[in-house]
Amino acid sequence: MKKKNIFAGYKIVRITAIAAFIVVAGIISLKAHSHSSSEVPDETVEIELSDHDKMTEVSDASGDPLQNTFKNYVYICGEVNTPGVYECEPQTRLGALVDMAGGATPDADLTSVNLAREVSDGEQIIILKKGSDDIPAASQPQNNAAPSGVSPNSNFVNINTADETTLKTLPGIGDAKAKAIVDYRTQNGSFKKIEDIMNISGIKNAAFDKIKDLITV
């Protein structure tokens, strides 16, 4: 009977030791897992530069950054569907610029311009109407003295002071309309605003849109 009790006690001690070992092993494993999860692995971040950033980072032999390729800004008006100022690449041909402006109107006289030539930065191009004898204002020879009715240091035609010859440099303004403008001034006084030119017979919204950026009062 006494021998049986000794074996029973030994069995309990062994079970207790095993249980303690399992608990300790579990605690150690839990701490190790917690420590490893708290560490943030190093990562290499690669940032892909845009083409613009790559261009600005290129340097010449002296170490100075190279300048970006500049753009040309050209104003085209007259017989095009969408007159306005357009941004284009250097060496752009006039034909390409006409396409950018929505193409020429059915009344455009494309034989009056060289569609194969290169356009220049800051240039003004007027596409004339078929049958028109007008000379684009931008094509007028530059003299020391501004023509009558042309504001000094600008290409604006002052419709209050311009004579018939100067008025005819505007697209769509021929002999009859130029004379009508001068007669209107004589009878009614100076134009108060450029929109008043539409009081002239034959100059309405469509004709005004072609010259509104070229005239002043």
Instruction: Give the count of beta carbons closer than 10 Å to the beta carbon of residue 87.
Output: 10
The domains found in the chain, sorted by start residue, are: 69-132 (3.10.20), 137-217 (1.10.150.320)
**Residue 184 pLDDT exceeds 80:** yes
Band (pLDDT 50/70/90 cuts) for residue 153 is very low
User: What are 46-59's pLDDT values in tens digits?
Assistant: 555 554 444 444 44
Gyration radius (Cα) of the chain, Å: 42
Helix (H, G, I), strand (E, B) or coil at 13: helix
Among the listed ranges 11-15, 80-84, 132-136, 166-170, which one has the minimum average pLDDT value?
132-136
User: What are 17-30's pLDDT values in tens digits?
Assistant: 776 777 766 677 66
Quick one: pLDDT at residue 93? 93
Separation of alpha carbons 181 and 175, rounded Å:
10
Phi, psi angle pair for 31, to nearest 5° = -65, -40
Exposure string (b/e) for 101-126, b if CB count within 10 Å is 16 or more? beebeeebbeebbeeeeebeeeebbb
Quick one: pLDDT at residue 78? 87
Separation of alpha carbons 169 and 95, rounded Å:
23
**Residue 139 pLDDT exceeds 70:** no
Quick one: pLDDT at residue 99? 95
